[in-house]
Amino acid sequence: MELADAQRAQWQSTYIAHPGMYGEHPSVPAVHAAEVFGAAGARDVLELGAGHGRDALFFAREGFTVRAADFSRTGLEQLREAARAAAHAHFGAGTAHGDDIFEHGGFAVHFFDRDLVDSLADGWVLDDVHFFAEGDLPRRLWR
């Protein structure tokens, strides 16, 4: 337990002193992992040691559902702030109405995950599916 406490203190002070210290671009291992995960059909990623989230946010942009953990609460707060600022900031925010529908200021925003798009297109051939967001309240076709 002593080593874990020391690590927690070290990373907490590091992220307080150096917010966003690794930058916004994903690491080379994360880019490789996303290719491998995608080829294997993985949809969920658990990132341990996520820090301020450069790789977790990259995985999310690549369409994975991401769970992130870190010793530093500050690092995870930085990750949350960056996620809110990203294009998918409205997912899970606002008043939930079920089925991935959220209300923001009187507007309904519906997020379609890739599985739902595929099930709705059952019997059709999808040549390509693209991300789509419009204005300040994105209407995502997949996440």
Q: Enumerate the domain spans of the chain.
A: 2-85, 89-143
CA–CA distance, 138 with 70 (Å, rounded to integer): 29
Indicate the angle between helix axes 28-40 and 54-61, nearest 10 degrees. Answer: 30
Q: Looking at residue 108, what is its pLDDT?
A: 61
- Residue 14 in tokens: 């590091």
Q: Looking at residue 117, what is its pLDDT?
A: 76
Q: What is the pLDDT along the chain (143 residues), one digit of tens a residue?
A: 688 788 888 888 888 888 887 888 999 999 999 999 999 999 888 998 888 889 998 988 888 888 888 888 898 888 888 877 765 555 555 677 776 666 655 556 666 667 777 887 888 887 776 655 545 544 444 44
Q: Looking at residue 141, what is its pLDDT?
A: 41
108 CB-side CA count, 13 A: 7
**Three-state secondary structure call for residue 109:** strand
Q: Looking at residue 100, what is its pLDDT?
A: 67
Give me the CATH code for the 2-85 domain, please.
3.40.50.150
- Residue 118 in tokens: 């595929």
